[in-house]
Structure 1
Amino acid sequence: MKLKSIYLKDSLKNITIENTTFENLTIFVGTSGAGKTTIMNAIYTVIHIAKGNSSPGDSWDIEFIDNHDREIKWSGTFSANIELDLSDDEDDDEIEVSAVENEFLYIEGKLIFERNEDSIKYNDNSLPLIDKNTSLLYLMRNDKLIETVYDSLSSVKIATNNSRDFTNNTALQLVRNEACEKNKKLMADENLNIKQFSEKFPELTCREKMYYCFNGDKESFEEFEYMYTSIFTNVEKVIVEDFQDIRHRINRSAILIRLELSDGTIIDQGSMSSGMFKSLTILAELLFSSDKSILVIDEIENSLGINCLSDILEIIQSNRSQAILSTHHPKVINNIPPSKWRIVSRKGGEIKTYKAESINNSSSQHDKFLQLINSEIYLNGAVG
């Protein structure tokens, strides 16, 4: 998948992200409060909707190339009228939901489905009204025509400051024993490398990819281990294990990551520094994901030390898969060409992005970060 553009309007918070375009590598820069994280959250919101969740008051419009190289345009609007969903018996929390007012899906310019509050049409055929609070894309995710669209959106991975998968080293990744053994057998029987395996199962987390690579693609894991130990030179080995977690159902195990240091000391996952753990998970995502996946990292400099940051940025820039970053750190900004920047500007609830044309075309040899922070758009980034 390659994300081309996104638009999002949150009518409840009165925030609009004007149509924002993306390159294979895009980095959002701007003053504090300009809206960098809001744009990252917009990507998360659209993926959240695609996975069957309601998003009251939101309108979206996203264009991308799916994993079959088809041009996709998906848009819709949720009502701002909030209801409480108490249907989940396992969760005492009240979930706020609202009805889908309209939804459209185009593939290669052809309208595939359209939906409003009174009707649903799929390939010009009327369908019965179904779950009003859930996107039709999710409800029809097993349809042959729509399956790849859904899988493409599922391949987007988002790393935020409180991301469970990427930053929380005390959280355990649980896997079902039966599915785990079945997947390992499939990987061996079909002779799949980790990138092929990840493309087949786009919803895998970075920790699951590490586990399957450790067990089924030793060559790729050795390359990963070499890169990681080059960043952290006191680390000798990366070990990925599973053990049955007796606190949960008996048919589940937990994935546990450990590091062996040069002196033989073993560092458990929960004892790793935030920089060591985040570097480990981001590197795994970059090396083990399909080239058709997208990695979104908000404030990439957080938790990464200076030595980790330079190496991770170098790998991101050499990677074939799409990466979308946000930052305000001078080292990040100076390491990435201005042609990849999007300067974020905010006026009231309206957020816009601009290409860094004046800096990109400049012949000045001065620090690009200094040129950026003295540019008019950057200085006026948060207004109103």
Structure 2
Amino acid sequence: MITLKLVSFSYINKETNWKLNQLEFDALTLLVGASGVGKTKILKALTSLKDLALGETTSQIDNLSFSITFEELGVLYLWEGETESSHSLDIAGFDALNENSPSFGFTFEKLSIIHPNLDQETLFNRSRTDLIFSNGKSAPKIALNKSCIGVFSEEDTIKPVYTAFKKIVLFDFEAGRHIVFNSKIIPDFKKLVPEPDSEFYNELLAYLKKQNAPIALKLLIASFVFKDIVNKIKTEFNHVFDFITDVRFHLEDSPNQEDSYVLQIHEDGVGWISSYDMSSGMLKTLLFLSLRYLEPEDSIILVDEFENSLGINCIDLFDFGSNRSSQYILTSHHPYIINKIPMHHWKIVSREAGTVIVKNASDYNLGKSRHDAFKQLINLAAYSEGRD
């Protein structure tokens, strides 16, 4: 059962004139379309809003307008907002001449609950100058470049929303290609030896899963604390690559730098291979398996061009059509993947100038059989040329 689900999303970047018309998600959503239509941008926009909600934004997000609807624990939420460059905000508290001042600020932010009868209950409503909560009371002034979700994350009405955004996970394989961790930044997890299935074990595992950290780092921690889970990952990995006999993090000595943990696999007849010498397909499969075990069960997993670097033997390992507790939003060009996923999960992405349009396969009256639907799909201008 999925307890967290993205329902719909729209987004405008006024700086670049890039607009995403409302996109509606399923428990499994496959975004397909020609190169350059905006599939990757959709995932990046979702990730940037996650960072904005959590207060972790490091890049500029000037002049945005967005609306995102999601369900958490049976409650339907709507988060809306608009931001502008700080140079456009003539408001006390922003010093446009100060190079350390924020690059953007909220001009509007609103969080609401949508009840089953479609009535909306406002949890907070923010303008350039005011912030009003559901009890009608105004709140203290906060920094304009901070989302109220992050600032008031401990409030009972806001905490579920903050927790929901922490569960959005972008599987960024290339960012984690060289997996090396300085030994001094890794706490001494070896002292933690919880009994499997004990209360302490389950609490520690839940805590690790909830951390907004790279999946490789979670795998490193699990290798110290949750050896049973790492053994399950190794077993599944061995089913795909039967010549790989072991996986480990090796502590490498360095005379000139700090000692570091390096991810390695052991290949029969070859020996230990470090992540930077590992095949892309092997490493991507290992990290994706780890993600399935070490992210919260009700995560929202974003994967761009899932098939990159993977052979058929790897792709077949992941049955996205099965009854999983997480929501998957994928992009792909690969005929095998598109054919593997039922067409009612396809979302066909096209664009008109700077406007991105996403439609269901049913909107194009594609064939009833998956094979016929795919043949019609590749002949659609919306798919092959990126224009509707």
TM-score of the pair, normalised by structure 1: 0.84
Q: 1:22 aligns with which of 19, 22, 25?
A: 25
Q: Provide the residue aligned with 1:220 in structure 2.
A: 229
**1:332-368 superposed Cα distances (whole Å, 9 cap, x missing partner):** 1111110111000100111111110167762456454
Amino acid at match of 1:285: L
What SS does the corresponding residue of 1:79 show, helix, strand or coil? strand
Quote the Cα distance in structure 1 between the aligned partners of 2:320 and 2:237: 11
CA distance in 2, matches of 1:10, 1:40: 14
Distance change >3 Å, CA 348–CA 160, structure 1 → 2: farther
What fraction of aligned residue pairs are identical, expressed as a percent?
Answer: 25
Question: Which residue of 1 is the match for residue 200 of structure 2?
Answer: 190
Letter in 1 for 2:331: S
TM-superposition CA deviations, 1:221-279 (whole Å, max 9, x none): 2221111111112101111356799988x8xx854321112236111222212221111
| Aligned-residue offset at 1:296 | 0.4
Using the alignment, how far apart are the partners of 1:174 and 1:49 within structure 2? 30
Q: Which residue of 2 aligns with 1:271?
A: 277
Task: Work out the CA distance in 2 between the residues paired with 1:182 and 1:107.
Answer: 44
Do residues 297 (structure 1) and 290 (structure 2) align? no
Within the alignment, does 1:121 sit opposite 2:132 as a pair?
Answer: yes
Q: For 2:350 and 2:370, locate their aligned partners in 1 and report how far apart those are by CA, in whole Å.
A: 25
Give the structure 2 partner of residue 280 of structure 1: 286
Matched, 1:73 2:78: yes
Letter in 2 for 1:31: A
5 Å-filtered alignment, 1:322-333, equals: 322-333=327-338
Q: Given the alignment, which residue of 8, 11, 36 partners 2:14?
A: 11
* Within-5 A mapping of 1:168-179: 168-170=177-179, 172=181, 176-178=185-187
Of 342, 346, 366, the residue aligned with 1:337 is 342
**Matching of residue 369 in structure 1 with residue 368 in structure 2:** no
* Counterparts of 1:84 and 1:22, CA distance in 2: 42
How far 1:297 sits from its partner (Å)?
Answer: 0.6
Q: Distance in 1 between matches of 2:146 and 2:255?
A: 35
Which residue number corresponds to residue 160 of structure 2? Answer: 148
Root-mean-square deviation (Å): 3.1
**Are positions 1:110 and 2:113 aligned together?**
no
Give a deviation string over 1:272-293, Cα, whole Å, max 9, x none: 1222111111111122222111
Tell me if structure 1 keeps the 8 A contact 2:111–2:122: yes
**Does structure 2 conserve the Cα–Cα contact (< 8 Å) formed by 1:152 and 1:202?**
no
Secondary structure of the 1:106 match is: strand
| One-letter amino acid matched to 1:113 | F
Give 1:151 deviation, angstroms.
2.1
What is the CA distance between 1:311 and its match in structure 2? 2.0
Counterpart Cα distance in 1 of 2:98 and 2:279 = 39
2:50 match:
47
Unaligned runs of 5+ in 2: 88-95, 115-119
Distance in 1 (CA, whole Å) between partners of 2:154 and 2:139 is 16
Structure 1: state its 5+ residue gaps: 88-94
Asked if 1:62 is matched to 2:42, the reply is no
After superposition, the Cα gap between the structure-2 partners of 1:81 and 1:177, relative to the gap in structure 1 and judged at 3 Å, is closer
| Counterpart check, 1:233 vs 2:242 | yes
* Letter in structure 2 aligned against 1:354: K
Q: What amino acid does structure 1 have at the position aligned with 2:125?
A: E
- Using the size of structure 2 for normalisation, the TM-score is 0.83
Instruction: Measure, in 1, the Cα distance between the counterparts of 2:255 and 2:151.
Output: 35
Code of the aligned partner of 1:10:
N
Tell me the SS of whatever aligns to 2:52.
helix
How far, CA to CA, are the matches of 1:339 and 1:78 in structure 2? 35
* Aligned mates of 2:144, 2:387 — CA distance in 1: 37
Task: State how far apart, in whole Å, the 2-side matches of 1:216 and 1:161 are.
Answer: 24
